[in-house]
Structure 1
Amino acid sequence: MSGRVVAAGAVALAVVLALTLGTIVAVFVRAEGVGGFDPADWAALRFTVTQATLSAALSVALAIPVARAIARRRFVGRGALVMLLGAPFILPVIVAVFGLISVFGRSGWVSQSLMAFGYEPISIYGFHGVIIAHVFFNLPLATRLVLQGWLAIPGERFRLAAALGFTSRDIARHLERPMLREVLPGAFLVIFLLCLTSFAVALALGGGPRATTIELAIYEAFRLDFDLGKAALLACVQFGLGAAVAIVALRVALPSGFGGGLDRAVQRWDQRGPLRTALDASWIALAALFLILPILAIAFDGIGALATLPSQVWTSAARSLGVAAVSVIVTLLLALPIAAWSVTSGSKLVEGLGTLTIVASPLIIGMGLFIVINPFLDPFALALPVTALVNAIMSLPFALRALVPALSQIETQYGRLADSLGMSGTARLRRLWLPRLARPLGFSAGLAGALSLGDLGVIALFASPDTPTLPLQIFRLLTSYRMDDAAGAALVLLALSLAVFWLLDRGGRVNVDG
């Protein structure tokens, strides 16, 4: 293992640990004291655990029939639907919230339809609004994860099942349930952790103290009370919750034991019959409508307001693009050395430490950075660079999950040849790794750019009135009831996020397929 790989990986990992654990220490040191939990904090803890558990459970439970239907059906537009399942994950939270309000709000499409039939309109604010938003974001992710499990069952197992005369119930018992036992704990864990650190959804749809997450309580402790001790304590509780859930999920998951196959096309003999066909079609249609309607609402409401958008929206958009560009660069500069060190050393610990940020509080990271910066520089003048850095850190786990398996495969296939040629250091990086990592690097860059563009976290704490990013500008327009301008700005942010992801992801594929 090259000493340069170890050094670069160690530096990158040290940065990650400093930003995750070091910032909590900085906030604790700056705090004048650490008190206990008051009733509001306990309420926030209960709400966070309840909504995260229910959101993850609903997302995973609904993903099972949707993924099963997609896995065993072939239909026109199947590939496009699978691609659509990735869209909500890169959708800016504030944009998705706007779309959900347009569909499920008191003046939304669903309420208008209910009122036409004499029923009361529904409200998306409060506990059920947070759940709806989290399921919208995470149902596609859960479906993709479960779908991969279904597609990983070797086709020979289904051929053997057909030869043995298995019914649908037999196939579910012997093939599908063992796969789900392996896949579902991991899917639940990822979604629970994403909901555990929810901020923008609770800020926009929470509707009051009874719908406050821990992350939102951290924001209020700092912004309203400047109680750094409470903010750090809440961050530690959130971190501990995430770690505990991860340990439990890893212990619950069991290998399916299917073994390998010959990569033959999967043929399903248990899918025949009009009732099963209609049921699968219903699940696919309902999932597609649930995902497409809010996006259509954003386009429908926003397209008419584009021509009259205030200049501040376009300035904020340019500012967000600059933040996203810095975030992409930092994400790749951290992810590649950590992935290289993890693969070349064979250590899962290195990758695990690199993904710590998935359970960290971005608000605490931002607070810690501002506390460290404050004695030397004006922290509010550095709001945008700090936001870019925090966004990069929060994108790191997803980049590592794309890079580590790809780099491991490269080393398995070409590592010994490269060693025999004396190829190491920068030569190995330029001639072996980078050309073959183009796809995962492009995907990681696109994901980091899209997530950074849509982030409404640290910038909500420290941005001055004159330097908002586009998500913060949309939030300000919503809270000032300038709904037409908010709709137009939301459409701009949606288009930018999708364009950035598409361009960077496509850039990673250029000259790769040829």
Structure 2
Amino acid sequence: MAITVPPTALAIAFIVTPVAMLVAQAVSIDAITATLSDSRTWRVIWFTTFQALISTIATVAIGLVPGLVIARSNFRGRQFVLSLFAAVFVMPTVVMAAGVRALLPGDPAGLLPIVVAHTMFNLAIVIRGIAAAPVPVELEQAATVLGARPLDVAQTITLPLLRPTLVGLTAVVFALCFTSFGVVRILGSASSTTLEVEIWRETIILGRIDRGVVLAVIQLVMLAIGIGVWIVTRRRSDAFQSGSRQPISLRGRLVVAGSCLLVSAPIIALIQGSFRVNGSISTSGWRNLLSNSIRPGLRLGFDPVQAILVSLVTATFATAFALTLAVLIVAAVASSPTIGRVVDGVAMLPLGISAVTLGLGLLITFDVPPFDWRASSLMTPLGHALIATPFVVRPVVGALATMNRQQVDAAATLGARPIRSLADSIIPVVTVPLLSGAGLAVAISLGEFGATSMLSRSGGETLPIVIERLLTRTGGDFRARAYGLSLILASATMGIVIALETVANRKQR
């Protein structure tokens, strides 16, 4: 039982307490009245919901056909295509926003660029979700043989059987669009802002923490509804088995190629934009990529080189913390399944809390002695670690669930010490998931923007923060520099994810 104490204490201190503090501070009649009586609050809630609905409809509509094609078909490069979509989804939001800004003409801001960015960013979820779903291929073929038209097959067989999967995917995409921060922060305008951006604005810009807390709790409630829908539909999504995949047709190849080109368009636009300054082709952006100068004698308020170093140090700390918590939870699950499952559930909480909300929770929790860490450089790595923890813990605990506990009991019967028998049985099972989780934690930390915007201080900017600040500057080669840094960040995160997917696929074989 003693081995369950450390993970329980860490989960309570850094996850449960910030959420509890957030809810406790929101229970203020004055703050609630002031926030809900402000017409701006309702405009923000309306726009947040509206853009999330439009973005979700566009994402599901565009991703449905490619997802079905990949689900039904076998073709060379299928796994690479799925890995590409996974890499795009893990790509930092500031990179996607920068790519859409480079892709669309003029200086786009408002609903259209936000919807375009959300659609391209979340398309991977829909396509991969449908591709992994049990598509009723044999039922569709039987209906076709009996003379049913393709439209009738889709309406009477395919869509009804895929409805639970589609509802679940729709709920997830809506939740992600609803809590979008980086995309809206960069591509939004004064009249097109979301709850997530408004929480940051009220807390950091205006210093009205009480209003920011109320908005955060409102968002938590609305987000919980979407997650609840996903959980319910997920339990119902495996009612039938998928048929065997068929060779892909020429039309299917065109659909897959088109979807790959669509999600790659922002990266292509970034490459072009990084070589364009004031409408002309130039390498100035790359030559000055790591410079902190505006012109001789005048410097930027941040240093790209320092930001890269801060990002690497932050990612290292965040990954180490997430791995430590994952190992402790694994030990807790192995020694006491009941307590371990509770701690595992608590560790999953950051999945249901937006990054900005989590950052706000940490900000108001660790602001009094002896834990007054508001100006500490540890706050940003801590926020990254909590965001990354579920992505490390979940695959490890999932692998642990497949372990044969009879091996542990047998080793104990033969005289092995409990710790030795557990270690010999667990280490081989969880090593690969731990390494995969560590790689994913690094990728998540490198691109994290929401919590960082709440927790970072001057001199502690990470690479996404520097990219956002360069994008907001006009004139010169600042935007080309931002596009170049975005490419570096995208290459790092996408490379990590594709490598992890490759390793995972080789293991399955």
TM norm structure 1:
0.81
**Aligned partner letter, 1:103:** L
In the alignment, the residues of structure 2 paired with residue 48 and residue 428 of structure 1 have an alpha-carbon distance, to the nearest angstrom, of 52
Query: Does residue 375 in structure 1 map to residue 364 in structure 2?
Result: no
The equivalent position to 1:420 in structure 2, one of 404, 410, 425, is 410
Query: Does residue 189 in structure 1 map to residue 171 in structure 2?
Result: yes
The residue that corresponds to 2:8 in the other structure is: 10
| Structure 1 vs Structure 2 CA RMSD | 3.5
With 352-361 and 62-71 compared, the bigger mean Cα shift is at 352-361
The residue that corresponds to 2:305 in the other structure is: 314
Give the C-alpha shift of residue 199 in structure 1. Answer: 1.1
In the alignment, the residues of structure 1 paired with residue 421 and residue 142 of structure 2 have an alpha-carbon distance, to the nearest angstrom, of 45
Query: Does residue 21 in structure 1 map to residue 22 in structure 2?
Result: no
The equivalent position to 2:426 in structure 1, one of 413, 433, 453, is 433
> Is contact 2:289-2:484 (8 Å) kept?
yes
**Aligned partner letter, 2:265:** L
In the alignment, the residues of structure 2 paired with residue 511 and residue 251 of structure 1 have an alpha-carbon distance, to the nearest angstrom, of 32
Shift of the 484–167 alpha-carbon distance from structure 1 to 2, 3 Å rule, reads: closer
**Aligned partner letter, 1:24:** L
The residue that corresponds to 2:324 in the other structure is: 333
Query: Does residue 180 in structure 1 map to residue 159 in structure 2?
Result: no
The residue that corresponds to 1:124 in the other structure is: 108
Which structure 2 residues correspond to residues 4-83 of structure 1 after superposition, within 5 A?
4=2, 6-15=4-13, 17-25=15-23, 27-28=25-26, 33-34=31-32, 35-37=34-36, 38-83=38-83
Give the C-alpha shift of residue 457 in structure 1. Answer: 2.2
Give the C-alpha shift of residue 443 in structure 1. Answer: 2.5
Give the C-alpha shift of residue 56 in structure 1. Answer: 2.5
Shift of the 147–463 alpha-carbon distance from structure 1 to 2, 3 Å rule, reads: same
Query: Does residue 236 in structure 1 map to residue 217 in structure 2?
Result: yes
> Is contact 1:44-1:212 (8 Å) kept?
yes
Cα deviation code 1:368-413 (max 9, x no counterpart): 433423434764541x421111122222333344333322222xxx
**Aligned partner letter, 1:84:** L
The residue that corresponds to 2:435 in the other structure is: 442
Tell me the secondary structure at the aligned position of residue 378 of structure 2: helix
Cα deviation code 1:28-50 (max 9, x no counterpart): 59998543411111111122222
Tell me the secondary structure at the aligned position of residue 437 of structure 1: helix
Query: Does residue 225 in structure 1 map to residue 206 in structure 2?
Result: yes
With 135-144 and 8-17 compared, the bigger mean Cα shift is at 8-17
Q: Which runs of 5+ in 1 are unaligned?
A: 107-122
The equivalent position to 1:298 in structure 2, one of 270, 275, 280, is 270
**Aligned partner letter, 1:421:** A
Cα deviation code 1:265-292 (max 9, x no counterpart): 4347xx87xxxx43x3443233112111
The residue that corresponds to 1:115 in the other structure is: none
The residue that corresponds to 1:398 in the other structure is: 391
> Is contact 1:31-1:228 (8 Å) kept?
no
> Is contact 2:126-2:169 (8 Å) kept?
yes
Identical amino acids, percent of aligned pairs? 26
Give the C-alpha shift of residue 239 in structure 1. Answer: 0.8
Which structure 2 residues correspond to residues 108-507 of structure 1 after superposition, within 5 A?
124-150=108-134, 168=150, 172=154, 176-208=158-190, 210-251=191-232, 255=236, 258-259=239-240, 265-267=244-246, 277-278=250-251, 280-302=252-274, 304=283, 305-311=285-291, 312-338=303-329, 344-345=337-338, 351-371=344-364, 372-376=366-370, 379-382=373-376, 384-410=377-403, 414-422=404-412, 426-427=419-420, 430-481=423-474, 482-501=478-497
> Is contact 2:307-2:461 (8 Å) kept?
yes
**Aligned partner letter, 2:447:** G
Cα deviation code 1:318-369 (max 9, x no counterpart): 1101111111122222344446656833987655443222232433433343
Cα deviation code 1:489-513 (max 9, x no counterpart): 222222332345466777x779968
Cα deviation code 1:236-286 (max 9, x no counterpart): 11111111222234445673565568xx84347xx87xxxx43x3443233
**Aligned partner letter, 1:452:** S
With 453-462 and 474-483 compared, the bigger mean Cα shift is at 453-462
Q: Which runs of 5+ in 2 are unaligned?
A: 276-282, 292-302
Give the C-alpha shift of residue 417 in structure 1. Answer: 2.0
The residue that corresponds to 2:295 in the other structure is: none
With 169-178 and 457-466 compared, the bigger mean Cα shift is at 169-178
With 372-381 and 72-81 compared, the bigger mean Cα shift is at 372-381
**Aligned partner letter, 1:478:** L
Shift of the 361–266 alpha-carbon distance from structure 1 to 2, 3 Å rule, reads: closer
In the alignment, the residues of structure 1 paired with residue 508 and residue 220 of structure 2 have an alpha-carbon distance, to the nearest angstrom, of 41
In the alignment, the residues of structure 2 paired with residue 62 and residue 511 of structure 1 have an alpha-carbon distance, to the nearest angstrom, of 30
In the alignment, the residues of structure 1 paired with residue 49 and residue 264 of structure 2 have an alpha-carbon distance, to the nearest angstrom, of 29
Shift of the 267–513 alpha-carbon distance from structure 1 to 2, 3 Å rule, reads: closer
Shift of the 436–191 alpha-carbon distance from structure 1 to 2, 3 Å rule, reads: same
In the alignment, the residues of structure 1 paired with residue 238 and residue 147 of structure 2 have an alpha-carbon distance, to the nearest angstrom, of 21
In the alignment, the residues of structure 1 paired with residue 464 and residue 60 of structure 2 have an alpha-carbon distance, to the nearest angstrom, of 28
In the alignment, the residues of structure 2 paired with residue 486 and residue 256 of structure 1 have an alpha-carbon distance, to the nearest angstrom, of 42
In the alignment, the residues of structure 2 paired with residue 431 and residue 86 of structure 1 have an alpha-carbon distance, to the nearest angstrom, of 33
**Aligned partner letter, 1:332:** L
